[in-house]
């Protein structure tokens, strides 16, 4: 008698660390996007209203076009991730923006549109133990009738519960994460010094041949 356990409907998340990268230039970049509810939102919102749309988006949401070495490193790592998960396709960064959480700020649950994967990079020198953590919701759990918490895992090595647990990541210098853009994500309230991060999205940059659903980025 044979028993095989497979995971046919997996959601792939990539994680890594840029240990030796010099983030000095990125740390000097002050083009922060401020979310509703943050104290510095009003000045940012005024510029959003007064600026031409393309100028505003190029300034605040194409940050990695001003830091091309970092853009290329993240793209290389993402394409390595794709090669080991989805196969022979390539991706490229579309939008990228800087965020900052101050004491008491939080990121409300949301997800990103018009992209394949989303990502985040923590580039500051230090992040406190109480810094707000990235939480990615488990899409499969929302469809389950029965939710089994993590402590029911059969073995300690089996750390990935498929049915209930969201996954949480602690920010630290050089850490980056890739996750499907369909996944809702958020943080709890931030505690400590300002928590800065770089967020970005990827789109597919390869032809995908699938009859009437074929896609070619060069079209």
Quick: pLDDT tens for 72-94. 999 999 999 999 999 999 999 99
Handedness of CA 6, 8, 9, 13 (dihedral sign): positive
Alpha-helical runs (H) found in the chain: 24-28, 41-50, 53-60, 68-83
Q: Answer yes or no: are the C-beta atoms of 202 and 115 closer than 8 Å.
A: yes
Neighbour count for residue 99 (Cβ, 10 Å): 17
> Taking the model in full, what pTM does it have?
0.90
- pLDDT, tens only, 7-21: 788 889 999 999 999
């Amino acid at each position: 008698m044979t028993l095989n356990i497979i995971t046919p409907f997996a959601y792939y998340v990539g994680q890594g660390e840029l240990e030796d990268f010099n983030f000095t230039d990125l740390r000097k970049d002050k083009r922060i996007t401020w979310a509703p509810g943050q104290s510095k939102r009003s000045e940012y919102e005024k510029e959003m209203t007064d600026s031409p749309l393309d100028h505003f988006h190029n300034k605040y949401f194409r940050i990695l076009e001003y830091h091309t070495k970092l853009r290329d490193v993240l793209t290389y790592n993402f394409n390595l991730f794709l090669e080991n998960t989805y196969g022979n396709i390539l991706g490229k960064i579309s939008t990228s923006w800087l965020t900052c959480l101050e004491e008491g700020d939080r990121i409300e649950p949301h997800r990103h549109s018009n992209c394949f994967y989303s990502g985040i990079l923590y580039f500051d020198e230090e992040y406190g133990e109480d810094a707000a953590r990235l939480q990615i919701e488990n899409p499969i759990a929302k469809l389950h009738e029965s939710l089994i918490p993590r402590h029911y895992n059969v073995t300690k090595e089996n750390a990935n519960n498929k049915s209930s647990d969201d996954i949480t990541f602690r920010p630290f210098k050089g850490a980056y994460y890739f996750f499907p853009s369909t996944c809702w994500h958020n943080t709890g309230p931030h505690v400590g010094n300002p928590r800065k991060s770089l967020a970005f999205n990827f789109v597919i940059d390869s032809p995908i041949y699938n009859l009437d659903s074929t896609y070619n980025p060069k079209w």
